[in-house]
A and B are shown apart, each in its own frame.
Chain A
Amino acid sequence: QLQLQESGSGLVKPSQTLSLTCAVSGGSISSGGYSWSWIRQPPGKGLEWIGYIYHSGSTYYNPSLKSRVTISVDRSKNQFSLKLSSVTAADTAVYYCARVDIAAAGTYYFDYWGQGTLVTVSS
């Protein structure tokens, strides 16, 4: 059974860089047919897709965050990471990592999720 687990700092100061890692177990991050994604959810609000990375290293980002986001993969550790720079209080949210199923001829969808980790931006 595939499992994803987020880790990283739960408190980040304004203007600094948020850094999170998602450890994948029960499967290889290099498997074809999948990409790896980050999604966030501000307290009491809806879901916002941040971006995803293919096993090749190609990335796609939400245009509203693109200038501040970097997603990368570490195949040796079977994990992928998120960096979000110049954070403000508006970046306070639960951050989820998820696997994206891209194998089928149809849509891309999130089939496995981490439990989520709350990141608070505050001085």
Chain B
Amino acid sequence: DIQMTQSPSSLSASVGDRVTITCQASQDISNYLNWYQQKPGKAPKLLIYDASNLETGVPSRFSGSGSGTDFTFTISSLQPEDIATYYCQQYDNLSGLLTFGGGTKVEIK
């Protein structure tokens, strides 16, 4: 099974800062990597799919990059409404299985 290692597990940054989260797969997953935002008490929301495609309606300050085993999620200018936990999720097209990363809790400094 493919394992996803997401880091850091938490971070604190100031409004306007650039925030970067990484996700590493235990084997090559091409670009089959998605990113979600989850606010307290709410269901997760899809932000990025296929590693770098912005979901419709999602602000352009969110972006994703990477392929193979190493992926990056970036908030270019952190806003107060971005306080949430962010998760990566991979799809293994050989086994059909899905896996989430452990999550990154983003807080305002």
Complex formed: what's the CA distance from A107 to B33 in Å?
7
Residue of A nearest to B90 (CB): A107
A residues in contact with B42, CB < 8 Å:
115
Interface string of B28-47 (1 = CB under 8 A from A): 00011110101000111110
Complex formed: what's the CA distance from A111 to B50 in Å?
13
Q: Is A114's CB under 8 angstroms from B43's CB?
A: yes
B residues in contact with A114, CB < 8 Å:
43
A residues in contact with B91, CB < 8 Å:
107-109
Of the candidates B32, B99, B100, B102, which one forms a contact with A106 in the assembled complex, judged by CB atoms under 8 Å apart? B32
Complex formed: what's the CA distance from A56 to B33 in Å?
25
A residues in contact with B33, CB < 8 Å:
107
Interface string of A88-123 (1 = CB under 8 A from B): 000000001010010010111111011110000000
Q: Is A52's CB under 8 angstroms from B98's CB?
A: yes
Interface string of A53-64 (1 = CB under 8 A from B): 000000010110
Q: Is A48's CB under 8 angstroms from B100's CB?
A: yes
- Once A46-B87, A113-B44, A116-B43 are accepted as A-B contacts, the answer to whether A107 and B32 lie under 8 Å apart by CB is yes
Interface: A2 (CB within 8 A): no
Interface string of B49-78 (1 = CB under 8 A from A): 111000100000000000000000000000
B residues in contact with A115, CB < 8 Å:
42-43
Q: Is B50's CB under 8 angstroms from A110's CB?
A: no
Residue of A nearest to B41 (CB): A116
State the Cβ distance, B25 to closest chain A Cβ, in Å. Answer: 12
Q: Using CB atoms and an 8 Å cutoff, list the residues of chain B in contact with chain A.
A: 1, 31-34, 36, 38, 42-46, 49-51, 55, 87, 89-91, 96-103
